Structure 1
């Protein structure tokens, strides 16, 4: 009898213990699932942040390629070109925002705060910062090139060989190349080119009337002239702002506004050259947009060689002070 009672108690104890273990195991499973859910929830902001960053970089790449990637600026993907390379260099976001917004005085780098809005500037910053992950074509390590960066980071190692100068004499300096006024004049008034400067601009009484008169532009620096030629959208004269007029029958006319009154808007349609004067009655207008693009073609950096640009700028400088009429590549960069 006593043995049977003992066996019954042991059986009940074992069942109770088994139930408790099962309950504990279920609780552990639930806790694990809850922890996993909490962990995943905590990671969501980082996932959204990563997606947002990738979207900014992609948008910034498009802006960069349309404005900064020419052979006379930073080159494709920020590689070595006329301006300082960006690939493989570390910059802070604040530094890049300041430089892109305000430009660098005394250089061909102009400011873009009047051309791009804040979101677009942030996209450009994100893209340039992403280039620091790439390998520079001019250095085997990633370096910081911001003013005030640690100079020790740029010191050569003990085993490094001294840098050899590629300039053996003043005559071998690749930047000691001067432009030709006559060659620049030929480029400016080249009637065989549809997009020649003279088709739209007047210079000392000769040329077109679509764009600003450039007769007195020689007072500007060579760097400013280079920037206005290869990045025309960086600084647009308010008198030559582009408009896109959409009529009620869905025709879209893009051009420079020439006149406006209560009844009509007159624009110079630049869809073809020479430009055509168009008068649109306001009663037939569905929408008018002010564009942030320049009427000036943006492909001169690829259309002309560096020497041709130098000749063109030398010609434009010929209307300025006599002491500044001799222009070299060094003056451009």
Structure 2
């Protein structure tokens, strides 16, 4: 997915991406957002043709969330293992206490949300996105596209952060269009990354963070 996201940033590589990537990869919100932000009729048309037959992104999502909640209730998890998973998968953008980075929201007290809400936050990050954390797709005057979270304005530049927590400065004069999307910077597909017991472990750790 990282390669597809990178290739969607330029017209030349986007054409190759449309030839090589499977429809489900192209339907990822970040990949789709970047391709659409290029604002090239041929790219948009081909993207629509390739992904048109796919079921909606959220098809079956509620059933999957219910299944993972049932698995957690039945099997629980290991908080120590969950802390390691947090550091590996989440701390690049989130902070608990003094550990991690502040790209996404600070997560102190997140355990008060309960297991069901946490599962939604982790596995369906685009369900309810706070406007302050919506992703921007910036088309530059050279034709390239940057996707990221708007962090701040600095002199004649806007500073954006990507999903790896890296900041990118873009001069305002170099921006052709800045589109705020309904999507979160947080990636979809964590159900596969946190398969089986791994998600239970992460939930156990997060649920203990109630203050």
TM-score, structure 2 as length reference: 0.66
Q: Which residue of 1 is the match for residue 169 of structure 2?
A: 279
Q: Tell me how far 1:74 sits from its aligned partner.
A: 2.8
Select 1:186's aligned residue among 61, 66, 84: 84
> Is structure 2 residue 208 aligned with structure 1 residue 318?
yes
CA distance in 1, matches of 2:53, 2:115: 28
Q: Residues 268, 301 of structure 1: CA spacing in aligned structure 2 closer, same or farther, 3 A cutoff?
A: same
Which of these residues, 82, 92, 113, is aligned with residue 199 of structure 1? 92
Counterpart CA distance in 2 for 1:248 and 1:261 is 19
Q: Which residue of 1 aligns with 2:75?
A: 177
Q: Give the counterpart of 1:289 among 162, 179, 187.
A: 179
Say how many residue pairs are matched.
Answer: 160
Aligned in 2, Cα 1:174/1:300: closer, same or farther, shift over 3 Å?
closer
Q: Unpaired runs of 5+ in structure 2?
A: 1-50
Q: Deviations 1:129-166 (Å, cap 9, x if unpaired)?
A: xxxxxxxxxxxxxxxxxxxxxxxxxxxxxxxxxxxxxx
What is the distance in 1 between the residues matched to 2:93 and 2:144?
A: 25
1:302 aligned residue = 192
Deviations 1:242-276 (A, max 9, x none): 10111111121110001137843221133xx3x33
RMSD: 2.9
The residue correspondences of 1:27-176 to structure 2 (distance < 5 A) are 61-63=54-56, 66-69=57-60, 73-74=62-63, 82=67, 175-176=73-74
SS at match of 1:279: strand
Q: Which has the higher strand share?
A: 2
Residues 174 and 207 (structure 1), Cα distance of their counterparts in 2 relative to 1, 3 Å cut: closer
Q: 2:162 matched to 1:264?
A: no
- Bigger Rg, structure 1 or 2: 1
Name the SS for the 2:67 alignment partner.
Answer: coil
> How far off is 1:219 after superposition?
1.1
Name the SS of the counterpart of 1:187 in structure 2. helix
Q: In 1, Cα distance between the equivalents of 2:104 and 2:73?
A: 31
Distance in 2, matches of 1:174 and 1:277, equals 35
Question: Aligned match of 1:212 in 105, 112, 125?
Answer: 105
3-state SS of 2:182 partner: coil
Q: Which has the higher contact order (CA 8 A, sep 6+)?
A: 2
Cα distance in 2 between the residues matched to 1:315 and 1:228: 15
